[in-house]
Every structure is written in C-alpha cells, then in structure tokens.
Amino acid sequence: MKIEKVINNNIVSSFDEKGREIVVMGRGIGFGAKPGAEIDKSRIEKIFKMDSNEESERLQSLFADIPIERIKIADEIILCWKESFPDKKISKNIYMTLTDHINFAIDRAIEGMNFKNPLLWEIKRFYPDEYVMGKKALEIIEKRLGISLPEDEAASIAMHFANAGFGTEMPEAMDITKLIQNVLKIIRYNYNVEIDEDSINYERFITHLKFFAQRIVTNRANSCEDPAFHEMIKERYKNEYKCAEKIKKYIEAEYKIKVPDEEMIYLTVHIKRITTK
C-alpha cells in the first residue's frame, strides 16, 4: 500500500485493492513520508473507507487540522455505537460530522463556553438509544482527555447518530425533532389527555413519526395508491382523522409541503392506538 498524499504527521491517503481512495491513520505514519512511499503497516491504527472519493477528500480536509487523539475518540464512540446497536445502520458521514462536532465541543469546553441544547428533553424522549450513546460519549471524552462536557452535549451527540441513521443533514434532523414535538402537542391539545409514554403503542407511534417527519422535511412523503382504503379509514375513525387533518394543516403551513392521503391513513391509525385506553 503506497502513500498517495501526506495529510499531516498522522494521516495519509492511499488506494485500496479496488482502486478506491482511503484515509489511513496512525501516529507518525506521515512524518517525513513522501507520496509513492510504502506505508509502514505497523503504524496503521485505522483505515477509513468512505462511499466516494469526494467524501474521502472531505474527510482528509477535516482530519488535517484535528489532533489525532480527538479523531480516535470519535472513532471509539462510533465503534461503541456499532457494538451496542448492531441492528441500527448509520451513514459513514458520521465519521465527519461527529469528529467535527467533538473537536469543536472540546475547544469550547477549554475556552469555558457551554451552549444549551433547546431540544434536550425531546431528544432524551424521542431518541433514547442515541441519547444513551451521547452519555457514553461524554464518559469516553472525560476518560481519554479529562474534560467534562455538560449533558446538553450528550443530546447534541445523540442528534448526530439520529441524523446518521436518517441519512439527513443536521438542520433537517433538528427539524424532524421539532416536528415530532409539535405533532404530539397537537394530539394532546385535541384530546386533552396525557399520552402513556410507557406503552408499546406510543413507542410504535414515535418510530412512525420519526420516519414520517423524515419524509416530510426531505419532501419524500408517500403518495396514496388506495383511495378506497383512505375513505374507509376516514369514515371509520372520524375523530382521529380530524386530528390528523390538524397535523396536516400545521405541516403544510410550516413546511410548505403537501401531506398525501397515504400519510394521513397511517397518522389516523396511530392516533387511534395511542388515544385508546
């Protein structure tokens, strides 16, 4: 394996056996090295394989100015996620977004600047697995660097994992969380009841809302292929459908996106489940 580019003393780029560009990390692996030289395999600590050469270039650009200790921390956190939640697939972009965030968060902590996350409570409720990982990330950072980050950072890190699971950009992931929060507010106000957040129907509804919200903010809502079924649901669950219409009105006003009939069907059925004792 030969060096294509020297990024810094600890990062170089190369190509794998299929001709795909890769990023190779190892302490001192690029020190005094030249393009075309063989990579010292004994120094390799991690090989990053992105989905495209463009992403590989972005990763190299990011890693160029970040201390290797922080890159390794981000990698450790991602590995911990994969081991803890093997069934939850995440985009490889997490290597860029999470590393960048952790680097910035550590810089802020050193400077004594702590930002509040306005969605802390919602993130804890809607993304419990991701939040657990955020808390674990803070433990890893403190163990490796002796730097203690506030709980708000656990929520911010959680959103990076939620974002990587959805395959959306961070602003869209934040929109998804706000949309879920406001949909639940509409349902609570409409029925004047507290929803049982420990019920299996609530868990199912939140899962549905996450993907529903993702489709809405990325403008990929499902279109209806069965008008007769839609009319049947509308007639059978009149009150629940009226509540779904209020949600539709909010979404179309807020996001300027039409909510199709098929999405209304699923919303209505889930509303029926979580509001029925």
Q: In this predicted structure, what is the pLDDT of residue 223?
A: 63
Give yes or no for residue 168 having a pLDDT over 80.
no
Give yes or no for residue 277 having a pLDDT over 70.
no
Higher per-residue confidence, 125 vs 67 = 67
- Taking the domains of the chain in order of start, what are their residue ranges? 5-50, 68-167, 171-275
Is residue 246 exposed (0-12), middle (13-18) or buried (19+ Cβ within 10 Å)? middle
Q: In this predicted structure, what is the pLDDT of residue 214?
A: 75
Two tokens, residue 61: 């650009």
C-alpha distances (whole Å) from 105 to each of 96, 174, 196, 264 are 14, 18, 35, 40
CATH of 171-275, one of 1.10.3210.10, 1.10.1790.10, 3.30.420.40, 3.40.50.2300: 1.10.1790.10
Please compute the mean of the pLDDT values over residues 153-173 and round it to a whole number.
Answer: 79
Please compute the mean of the pLDDT values over residues 179-186 and round it to a whole number.
Answer: 90
Q: In this predicted structure, what is the pLDDT of residue 15?
A: 93
Percent of the chain as helix, strand, coil, to the nearest 5: 60, 5, 30
* Confidence class for position 25, pLDDT limits 50, 70, 90: very high
Please compute the mean of the pLDDT values over residues 68-94 and round it to a whole number.
Answer: 94
CATH 2.30.24.10 fits 5-50, yes or no: yes
259 — alpha (psi -120 to 50), left (phi > 0) or beta?
beta
Please compute the mean of the pLDDT values over residues 152-166 and round it to a whole number.
Answer: 87
* Within this chain, domains 68-167 and 171-275 share the same CATH topology: yes
Tell me how far apart the alpha carbons of residues 166 and 130 are, in angstroms, rounded to a whole number: 12
Is residue 197 exposed (0-12), middle (13-18) or buried (19+ Cβ within 10 Å)? exposed
Q: In this predicted structure, what is the pLDDT of residue 261?
A: 85
Please compute the mean of the pLDDT values over residues 20-38 and round it to a whole number.
Answer: 94
* Confidence class for position 162, pLDDT limits 50, 70, 90: confident
Give yes or no for residue 112 having a pLDDT over 90.
no
Q: In this predicted structure, what is the pLDDT of residue 60?
A: 94
CATH 1.10.1790.10 fits 68-167, yes or no: yes
Lowest-pLDDT choice from 15-29, 153-167, 206-220: 206-220
Contacts of 266 (CB under 8 A, 6+ apart): 208, 212
Element (H, E) at 47: strand 46-48
Instruction: Report the percentage of the chain scoring pLDDT > 90.
Output: 49
pTM: 0.72
Give yes or no for residue 149 having a pLDDT over 60.
yes
Please compute the mean of the pLDDT values over residues 109-125 and round it to a whole number.
Answer: 81
